Amino acid sequence: MSVTKDTQLELHRMMMLIRLFEEALEEMFSRGLLHGTMHLSIGQEATAAGACLALDKKDLITSTHRGHGHCLGKGADPYKMFAELLGREDGYCRGRGGSMHIADLSNGNLGANGIVAGSLTISVGAALSFQLQKKENIVLCFFGDGAVNEGSFHEALNLASLWNLPVLFLCENNQYGMSMASEKAVAGESIASRGNSYGIESIQIDGNDVEAVYESVSTFKDEILSNNRPKFIEAVTYRYRGHSKSDRNLYRTSEEINFWKDEKDPIKRYIGKLLEQGITEVDLKEIDEEVKNTIRTSVKKALDSPLSPITNLEEDSYA
Amino acid sequence: MPELSVGQAINNALSLILKEYPNAFIAGEDIGIYGGAFGVTDGLLETFGEERIKDTPIAEDVIAGLAVGAAMTDSKPIVEMQFSDFIVNAMDPIVNQAAKLHFMYGGAVNVPIVVRGASGAGTGAAAQHSQSLESWFCHVPGLKVVTPSNPQNAYDLLLHSFVDPNPVIFMEHKLIYKIKDDVVLNNIPSNSELLGQAKILSEGNDITIVSYSNMVNVVKDAISSDELSEISAELIDLQTLSPLDMQTIITSVSKTKKLLVCQEAPANSSVGSTVISNVVQSDAFSSLSIAPKLVSGLHSPMPSAKHLETTVIPQKEDIMQAIKDMV
Amino acid sequence: MAKENILLPAMSDQMSEAELLSWKVSIGDKVNKGDVLCEISTDKVDMDLESPYSGEIINLIANEGDMINVGEPVAEIETEEDSLLGSIFD
């Protein structure tokens, strides 16, 4: 399959949007504007952008605590995301969910999740709904390398396989849980082999190659719908920042971080590839400027928007 | 109207739900051809087929988790914990997900699930198959907790729990499954107004007795004994444990001036302790002529030998003695 | 080229101030984004403060031993990079 030029520009734009969104949050946090911590996905833009852009609006995703990229990838409005992190009424969750729990149901994002592996079984249930409703859509379940050791991961894969559910399990293996390297946490051959052990076709890909992610997800989506079988992708990537804002990166070396930043950065690599294929620097710069303006406008608007009013929270706990 | 056991009443309610709601389904262990460990789902597979009656592997986490995902996407799942003790393997999807999503998403989604579990002691099933864990879920905002005590309220409460847009934990005491009585087979209600309402089973003036689940039946037995024929007891069946209908209890206690709470679960951090604490903090406090009393299970795992088991669970005689001590 | 202030960032949710322990750069030094500028001490731990820009250090505003609040400037840098959000806060 070859990716069209329009899609290529979209992929670049989405990665830039995610990168600058996260960097803007970093700056706002440094200025003391944000309450609570954040789990930034800087360095992992290709998995979110490549996977989400390969889906339709009616395909669903479930996301993780490191989910800003997934949310943007599925079409979220950065203004409403900034507003959510700032506790504003216009936030996706009216300020009640925050960074780890942003959901955007209108765009098919069933939500980020603060529990590692918390959304695997939820994605199975959503896929069951699609099966019962005879829909031609899939559920893409994002999770990290930390999740593959939780019991719910195994229960979810087992059941999706037994019941032929339309789930695409996508592991963003950034090689560290919080501080534990995945090689110390994951027994067995590889994360992808765990999918195979449940009878689910599984592949391992370079998660920092955005077109590889895009093509794998597109292909697997078609196969899920035509074969009525779930699928599994392990996308190898890397996060530049600590797990959260309290992480001092004692568990890895700056050499390792710099290697991934300099040699394997998904955005740099893709720019190189696009330029080789004839896309001009001017095209790319235009996109970058538009994204910067979108971010700046969104942040300013969010800062100026009203706080979520104090309501009866006990009543709000119930529908 | 037919005479049905609690098990049959619930079966009828489930059947009605599956008929009227094409997007409803049931999932759990051995609920299909086996008919459920207590026979509650007997015959449903034959009528509704494998798509709606889903036998699962032994995997409580995903049983509850799939209910959450399905409920968020226009399905109406009713899932079963074969013994309610197994619900501890499903705590994340119930407590961290189902109970929280409506709130965390600013009201953008509802999670209308029913999680049914067979709870309670008296069958010699011992410590890991006899617990009364309902108070755990009363402690979690976002969940509702319901406990039927007889065939009619088992039927009605299940229907109301089903139409409620919140996640409901529906604990069925094992000993009530065989209780039989006439049941009016009401239609599926348009709202869940029965939830959150306690029921006064018998009116009285001398003492208010609050109970729930199978213990209601033990209390009924106690107060109808000859020895207590002179005592006029007002018996209240909580029916819903969360949210609690404190208004009914407070009005009753203001009248009788005495409060006895009877439950099978142990006392610490329990429903009964909460009821008493709420009454003491209310306007009814000044009406009390004697300290409220809680008759509860012992703070002990359930032993398997029958003669030991009966020492842990409040018996009819224990309740009669408590009433005599108070009135 | 623009002059940008380097502010003391909040490095955790609870942090409100820090003591500047020692400078690792001097006026006139050329630094890359990510290079360590100074060592700071919060009530929990000692940490390195990294430069958010590449450029030339033109002023050291805080002194060794000073207590600085989150959001206050510690140094000034001349850089070609354009701050993503700077214009919103100026």
> Angle at the Cα of A231 (from A69 to A5), degrees rounded to 5?
50
Which residues in chain C are contacts of A23 at CB distance < 8 A? 84
- B142: closest CA among B169, B116, B171? B169
pLDDT greater than 80 at residue C14: no
pLDDT greater than 70 at residue B9: yes
> Angle at the Cα of B42 (from B26 to B302), degrees rounded to 5?
85
pLDDT of residue C84: 84
- As given in the structure block, the two tokens for residue A17 are 């949007």
- The DSSP H or E segment spanning C77 is strand C73-79
Q: Are strands C55-60 and B114-119 parallel, antiparallel or unpaired?
A: unpaired
Give A251 or A167, the one with higher predicted confidence. A167
Q: What is the pLDDT of residues A198-245, one digit of tens each?
A: 999 999 999 999 999 999 999 999 999 999 999 999 999 999 888 888
CB contact under 8 A, B61 and A162: no
pLDDT greater than 90 at residue B235: yes
pLDDT greater than 80 at residue C43: no
- As given in the structure block, the two tokens for residue A267 are 């955005």
Distance from CA of C35 to the nearest CA of A (A): 11
Whether B263 contacts B215, CB under 8 Å: yes
Rounded (to 5) percent helix, strand, coil in chain B = 40, 20, 40
pLDDT of residue B242: 98
Report residue B129: phi and psi, to 5°: -135, 20
CB atoms within 10 A of CB B21: 15
Q: Quote the strand ranges of B174-305, DSSP E.
A: 180-182, 199-202, 207-211, 233-237, 240-242, 259-266, 293-297
pLDDT of residue A30: 83
Q: Which amino acid is at A170?
A: L
CA distance A263 to A258: 8
CB contact under 8 A, C9 and A295: no
Whether A105 contacts A116, CB under 8 Å: no
CB contact under 8 A, A248 and C85: no
- B147 three-class SS: coil
Mention every residue, 6+ apart, whose C-beta is less than 8 A from residue B230. Answer: none
ipTM score = 0.95
Give A28 or C83, the one with higher predicted confidence. A28
Read off the pLDDT band of B270 (50, 70, 90): very high
Q: What is the pLDDT of residues A129-142, one digit of tens each?
A: 999 999 999 999 99
Cis peptide before B243 (omega within 30 of 0): yes
CA distance B3 to B7: 12
Mean pLDDT computed over B17-32: 98
Distance from CA of A292 to the nearest CA of C (A): 7
Check if A284 contacts B (Cβ < 8 Å).
no
What are the residue ranges of helices labelled H in A240-280?
A: 254-263, 266-276
Mean pLDDT computed over B78-107: 98
The mean pLDDT value of chain A amounts to 95
Which residues in chain A are contacts of B100 at CB distance < 8 A? 101
Mean pLDDT computed over B218-229: 97
Q: How many residues does chain C have?
A: 90
Read off the pLDDT band of B192 (50, 70, 90): very high
CB contact under 8 A, A125 and B72: yes
Q: What secondary structure letter does DSSP report for B170?
A: E
pLDDT greater than 70 at residue A270: yes
- B87 three-class SS: helix
pLDDT greater than 70 at residue B135: yes
**Catalytic sites of B, residue numbers:** 60, 129
CB contact under 8 A, A32 and C70: yes
pLDDT greater than 70 at residue A25: yes
pLDDT of residue B326: 97
pLDDT of residue C2: 85
CATH number of this structure's domain A5-305: 3.40.50.970
Q: What secondary structure letter does DSSP report for B97?
A: I
CB contact under 8 A, B141 and A314: yes
- A39: closest CA among A238, A242, A208, A235? A242
Chains sharing 3 or more CB pairs under 8 A with chain C: A
CA distance A244 to A238: 14
pLDDT greater than 90 at residue B292: yes
Check if C48 contacts A (Cβ < 8 Å).
no
pTM: 0.94
pLDDT of residue A76: 98
- B170: closest CA among B148, B189, B187? B148
Sorted by where each starts, the structural domains of chain C and their CATH numbers stand as: 2-82 (2.40.50.100)
List Cα–Cα distances, A306 to A35, A76, A90, C53, in angstroms. Answer: 16, 20, 8, 32
Whether B236 contacts B199, CB under 8 Å: yes
Read off the pLDDT band of C42 (50, 70, 90): confident
Whether A141 contacts A62, CB under 8 Å: yes
pLDDT greater than 70 at residue C90: no
Q: Which amino acid is at A77?
A: D
pLDDT of residue C16: 85
Read off the pLDDT band of A8 (50, 70, 90): very high
Q: What is the largest CA-CA distance in chain B?
A: 58
Check if C84 contacts A (Cβ < 8 Å).
yes
Task: Provide Rg for chain A, Cα atoms.
Answer: 19
pLDDT of residue C52: 85
pLDDT of residue B223: 98
Whether B233 contacts B207, CB under 8 Å: yes
Nearest CA in chain A to B99: A317
Whether B143 contacts B87, CB under 8 Å: no
Sorted by where each starts, the structural domains of chain B and their CATH numbers stand as: 3-182 (3.40.50.970), 199-326 (3.40.50.920)
Nearest CB to C84: which of A36, A37, A292?
Answer: A292
Give C33 or B263, the one with higher predicted confidence. B263
pLDDT of residue C44: 73
Residues 61-120, chain B, touching A (beta carbon < 8 A): 61-62, 64-75, 77, 92-93, 96-97, 100-110, 112
Tokens 């998403």 label which residue? B105
pLDDT of residue A1: 67
CA distance C4 to A163: 58
The mean pLDDT value of chain B amounts to 98
Surface-to-core class of residue A12, CB atoms within 10 Å of its CB (0-12 exposed, 13-18 middle, 19+ buried): buried
- As given in the structure block, the two tokens for residue A144 are 């990290």
pLDDT greater than 70 at residue C83: yes
Mean pLDDT computed over B39-51: 98
Percent of chain A residues topping a pLDDT of 90: 89
CA distance B313 to B175: 13
